Amino acid sequence: MIEFDGPVIVTGTDTGVGKTVTTAAIAAQLLSKGTTVEVVKIAQTGDDDDAATAGRLSGAPARCLRSYPDPLAPFAAARRAEAPLLRLKEVSDAALERTADVVLLEGAGGLLVPMGEDGWNVRDLAVELGCPAVVVARAGLGTLNHTALTLEALSSRGVEAAVVIGAWPHEPGLAERENLLDLPGDRLGCIPDGAGELSPEVFRLGAGEWLAL
């Protein structure tokens, strides 16, 4: 099982899998144990504010390093906005200059999405920092392949990883129930679907039941 000590990447098998709510749940659970936590959204695209959501739900300080208006991969969104590309060193420096015990670095989209200058991705960041990753996966059909590919891509670069199901349905079907048995990798737990709509107080209490950190 991965250790939460220093920087930890939170990535996903795809976009919309529940990375932000998972990041918030991890932060809330660590805070409840007396660990100090900072949440960093590496790059935000579109109208959402993932850092604000993670901070509100968890109670941890949260910030975003760079934001772009178009809902695209950060590299493409920066190009369209004619904005400076995010540099890998800029993000690694932000992680290493932390004041908290743990800094959770939430990516954008899936593991290999181009984030900035020279097309670096969050796997490159994990290698640069020598830190583990949490892979947020879907519950339904197709997730076995996507999760296995993501874990293989991390393992090929020596990055330790664990898996969280980012939105476990209240009424799981056959595929979800079987996937729970067959999903590859070490698992930290499941976040219930709709958890992001809970009040912060209820969310923080639930985090201890959803995750085994």
63-119 pLDDT, tens digit each: 999 999 999 999 999 999 999 999 999 999 999 988 899 999 999 999 999 999 999
Task: Say if CB 91 and CB 65 are below 8 A apart.
Answer: yes
- Report pLDDT digits (tens) over 162-198: 999 999 999 999 999 999 999 999 999 999 999 999 9
- Report pLDDT digits (tens) over 42-77: 999 999 999 999 999 999 999 999 999 999 999 999
What domains are defined for the chain? 6-210 (3.40.50.300)
Task: Please give the order of strands across the beta sheet that includes 161-168.
Answer: 62-68, 37-45, 102-106, 6-12, 133-137, 161-168, 187-192
Active site residues: 41
Can you give the C-alpha Rg of the chain in angstroms? Answer: 16
Separation of alpha carbons 60 and 38, rounded Å: 6
Contacts of 82 (CB under 8 A, 6+ apart): none
Pairing, β 62-68 against β 37-45 = parallel
Separation of alpha carbons 194 and 93, rounded Å: 34
| 20, 117, 130, 155, 174 from 159: Cα distances, Å | 21, 22, 7, 5, 32
pLDDT grade for 210, boundaries at 50, 70 and 90? very high
**In degrees, to the nearest 5, what angle opens at C-alpha 81 toward C-alphas 79 and 85?**
45
Task: Say if CB 151 and CB 11 are below 8 A apart.
Answer: no
> Any idea what DSSP says for residue 14?
S
